[in-house]
Amino acid sequence: MQVGIDEIGFYTPNKYVDMVDLANARNEDPNKYLEGIGQSQMSVADQTQDAVSMGINATLGYLDHVDLNQVGLLILGTESGVDQSKSGSLFIKSALKLPAAVRTFEIKEACFGVTAGLMLARDYVRLHPHHSAIVIGSDIARYGLNSGGEVTQGAGSISLLIKAEPRILAINNGHSAYSADINDFWRPNNSATALVDGKYSKAVYLDFFERTFADYQRIKKWSPAQFEAIVYHLPFTKMGFKANNLAMAGQPAEVEHHLANNFTASAWFNRQVGNIYTASLYLSLLSLLEKADLAPGATIGLFSYGSGAMGEFYSGQLVSGYQQKLRPIADEQMLMRRQKLSIPQYETIFNEALKQPIDNVELASDEAAGYWYFAGTKNEVRQYHQK
């Protein structure tokens, strides 16, 4: 029995900043952002979008095709949690009207959360093959205005339906994992923005990739030629580009060609959206599937990394007919609907989003009809409404 990804849903907020505008405002050469970092645009979440609302919206992209009575598990991976105790997945479960019997919880390990949830969901479905599981990654990456990490911010969510006999990607047996207690990136409880040792974090990311990729090849007795594409967690696209160069090193020209071209395809969405932490790897996967021309049966490698730090490499096989489960037009429209912000507008929205809402004052959203949003708190209880 194969288990894997049967549906993919995507959501990003309805506002963005152009990296040329941001570079000019910060007195930087635009090519530093466009080429050196590899980012073109950055989605911006206002006060009415959070990990919960974005997770709801991503899942609604495919929920009409799901038998809700078969859903047995809902996992939210996030490092942008809305409560120190209550799982954000409970708000999502309520909005999606999932059955009361669904087991649900939240996972936190920096950007690794969704992969941890996916592996738990895979094992759950193997034991309960008539059930499905929903795994959501939803995050807002914030480093602060005028900070070194500002250009690598972003916001968005990816939702995955995990099932037996999946129709997009079947997960292969075997994986390689590596973890260590390090301080390359963290966000204390008293901080709304992340702290990062950028140079160190880049080095750790590449080190963890080399370790897990080499170990995976040893376990499977494979070489890089086995992979039609490798997708990466992308805190910014140039980071994955460097890892992909390591994977291609010493390989025949044909292998380098398809790994390089498919990396470009996988990074396209990230260039427009920015870093979305837990969901970043799976945004790369979605971008690859929609922007590249891959044959059924192609082997895709996936490198997941969460600072602090946890790395894992695994792979999957594309299922025949996977293209029919994708929504490239809708996903493109998701990006096209966004409003371009001036830098003063962006800075105002950024600062407002850091503030705690005033209790019993309802927030208004300018999202399109049908989308969910955070409407503030009522007697200190978070409220979520559908536009």
Q: Is 380 assigned a catalytic role?
A: no
327 in helix, strand or coil?
A: coil
Whole-angstrom Cα distance, residue 231 to residue 54? 23
CA distance 207 to 375: 42
Give the dihedral sign, CA 215/171/108/348.
positive
Do residues 45 and 105 touch, judged by C-beta distance below 8 A?
A: no
For the question of residue 367 being annotated catalytic, the response is no
Q: Which helix (H) or strand (E) holds 109?
A: none
Mind giving me the DSSP string for 334-384? HHHTPEEPPHHHHHHHHHHHTSPPPTT------SPTT-EEEEEEETTEEEE
Rounded to 5°, angle at Cα 151 from 146 and 157: 125
d(CA 118, CA 116): 6
User: Please, what is the Cα angle at 209 between 208 and 212, to 5 degrees?
Assistant: 80
Given the residues 106, 111, 131, 367, the one annotated as active site: 111
Q: Does residue 130 carry a catalytic annotation?
A: no
Gap between the Cα atoms of 199 and 212, Å rounded: 20
CA atoms within 13 A on the CB side of 163: 18
In angstroms, the Cα distances linking 367 to 15, 53, 119 are 10, 11, 33
Question: Which residue of the set 7, 79, 109, 367 is catalytic?
Answer: 79
Q: Out of 131, 150, 228, 233, pick the active-site residue.
A: 233
Beta strands in 79-172 (DSSP E): 103-107, 132-141, 154-164, 169-171
At CA 306, angle to CA 93 and CA 282, rounded to 5?
55
Sign, CA dihedral 121-122-126-132, equals positive
Which residues are identified as catalytic? 79, 111, 233
